[in-house]
Amino acid sequence: MLLPKSRAARRRLALLALAAPILVMAAALTLYGLRGSISYFFTPSQAATAHVPPGRAIELGGLVVAGSLAKGPGGEVSFVIRDHSARSQVRYKGELPDLFREGQGVIASGSYDTGGIFIATQILAKHDERYMPRELTRALRADGEWRPGSPAQSGP
């Protein structure tokens, strides 16, 4: 027989046999519950390469293209975010952060629509001249866009 001869060992084995399915079920339920709240970070070129499907919640980061900011009626704003090799048109309805500027780093949370325009639900701008979000800094360095010492691109 495969059961241990010791009574204590059989008890531990029984306890393990009861606890294992409960722990697996708890982990599965946790992952299932969190699947909708996971947000991935992309630069415009990474989003184009990954073919992000319309409606999928992501964070899009890059530099705001100078001269691309256009304010529409009802508080709607549109602008273009760029990295080294790609651009994404962004639309946002609401108030922009006070520190939002053209030529500076920004992270927009939202999703692409079926026309390829990024519909932002939240806009984050850097909060001082020395800060840029870590994900954006890494992505800009990886794309060859990072220029240390530039006032619009100071960072960690």
107 plus 136 within the same structural domain: yes
In a domain, 69, yes or no: yes
What tens digit of pLDDT does each residue of 90-107 get? Answer: 999 988 888 888 888 899
For residue 12, the tally of other CB atoms under 10 A from its CB is: 11
Q: What are the tokens at 57? A: 């919640």
Residue numbers of the domain that contains 16: 1-38
Is the predicted pLDDT of residue 138 greater than 70, yes or no?
yes
Polymer length of the chain: 156
2 plus 76 within the same structural domain: no
What tens digit of pLDDT does each residue of 55-67 get? Answer: 988 999 999 999 9
For residue 81, the tally of other CB atoms under 10 A from its CB is: 25
Total number of domains in the chain: 2
Q: What are the tokens at 113? A: 């629509």
Q: What are the tokens at 139? A: 């992505």
What tens digit of pLDDT does each residue of 9-45 get? Answer: 989 999 999 999 999 999 999 988 887 677 788 999 9
59 plus 101 within the same structural domain: yes
